[in-house]
């Protein structure tokens, strides 16, 4: 399948991330099926509290589902799991392996995303060979307690003006604030609880997408 990067492909406006603790008792497979059926084309597997064996087993199932749907599958943090399940990419944070070292492990064919919260980190990610960057947390979020306070929209504006790589905004993004990010030039947003905690995931995807596209039609404030 072709490489899908945030904001560059239909359906990549929403970058969906799993979290089984927030999924109302549904399995990651159930959640992924709903997201993919709703037209989401980027899915990241993110499970912080499971052992590697359980992660690999789930990732192999989600890899087949995303492959069948023509969607991009990203694994958070675990480079070994990403390689073993033949994911399309891996996403790493500032406390994980640097992108330049991840590239030595995964080769040229795998997407590498890097979380950033300031210009210095963004420029380093570019220098290290990242394929895209995460921008955030935009708002404080309970999904990742150690993420710290939200970054200001001025950092998002800086990324839009200065970084040529694709980027995805992340952190506390809801259907109620995604329009403002779109007005600031954001073309792809990562959502976790807003999607996986929705009783009707397909309807929530439609609501989020509508709010984002409505924001793209208005000027930044």
| Residue 218: predicted pLDDT | 63
Active site residues: 46, 115, 144
β-strand partners of 116: 135
Q: What is the pLDDT of residue 149?
A: 60
- Per residue in 172-200, pLDDT (tens digit) is 999 999 999 999 999 999 999 999 999 99
Q: Identify the band that residue 9 occupies on the pLDDT scale cut at 50, 70 and 90.
A: confident
pLDDT at residue 146 tops 60 = no
Model confidence over 66-82: pLDDT tens digits?
999 999 999 999 999 99
- Mean pLDDT, rounded, of the chain: 92
Residue-wise pLDDT for 87-124, tens only, equals 999 999 999 999 999 999 999 999 999 999 999 999 99
For 66, 111, 135, the CA distances from 184, given in Å and listed in that order, are: 30, 25, 13
Question: Alpha helix locations (H) across the chain?
Answer: 28-37, 52-69, 79-84, 99-106, 119-127, 153-162, 178-183, 193-196, 201-216
- Residue 213, pLDDT > 70, answer yes
Distance between CA atoms of 139 and 23, rounded to whole angstroms?
A: 21
Q: What is the pTM of this model?
A: 0.93
pLDDT of residue 217: 75
Contact residues for 209 (Cβ-Cβ < 8 A; gap 6+)? 13, 14
Q: Does domain 14-216 have CATH number 3.20.20.70?
A: yes
pLDDT for 3 beyond 90: no
Q: What pLDDT is stored for residue 144 in this prediction?
A: 56
CA distance 115 to 200: 29
pLDDT at 221: 47
> 67-97 burial, b for 16+ CB within 10 Å, e for fewer?
eebebbbbbbbbbebbebbebbbbbbbeebb
Tell me: the pLDDT tens digits for 12-53? 899 999 999 999 999 999 999 999 999 999 999 999 889 999
- Are 89 and 110 in contact by the 8 Å Cβ rule? The answer is yes
- Residue 36: both structure tokens together: 């993919």
User: Count of CB atoms within 10 A of residue 110's CB?
Assistant: 21
Please tell me the predicted confidence (pLDDT) of residue 143.
59
């Amino acid at each position: 399948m072709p490489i899908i990067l945030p904001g560059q492909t239909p359906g990549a406006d929403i970058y969906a991330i799993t979290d089984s603790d927030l999924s109302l008792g549904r399995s990651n497979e159930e959640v992924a099926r709903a997201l993919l059926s709703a037209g989401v084309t980027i899915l990241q597997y993110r499970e912080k509290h499971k052992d590697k064996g359980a992660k690999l087993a789930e990732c192999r199932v989600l890899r087949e589902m995303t492959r069948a749907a023509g969607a991009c599958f990203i694994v958070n943090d675990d480079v070994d799991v990403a390689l073993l399940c033949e994911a399309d990419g891996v996403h790493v944070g500032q406390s994980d392996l640097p992108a330049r070292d991840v590239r030595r492990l995964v080769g040229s064919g795998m997407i590498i995303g890097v979380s950033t919260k300031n210009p210095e980190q963004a420029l380093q990610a570019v220098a290290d060979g990242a394929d895209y960057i995460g921008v955030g947390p935009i708002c404080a979020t309970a999904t990742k307690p150690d993420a710290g306070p939200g970054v200001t929209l001025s950092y998002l504006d800086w990324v839009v003006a200065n970084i040529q790589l694709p980027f995805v905004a992340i952190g506390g993004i809801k259907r109620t604030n995604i329009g403002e990010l779109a007005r600031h030039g954001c073309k792809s947003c990562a959502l976790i609880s807003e999607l996986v905690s929705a009783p009707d995931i397909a309807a929530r995807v439609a609501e989020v997408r509508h709010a984002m596209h409505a924001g793209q039609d208005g000027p930044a404030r």
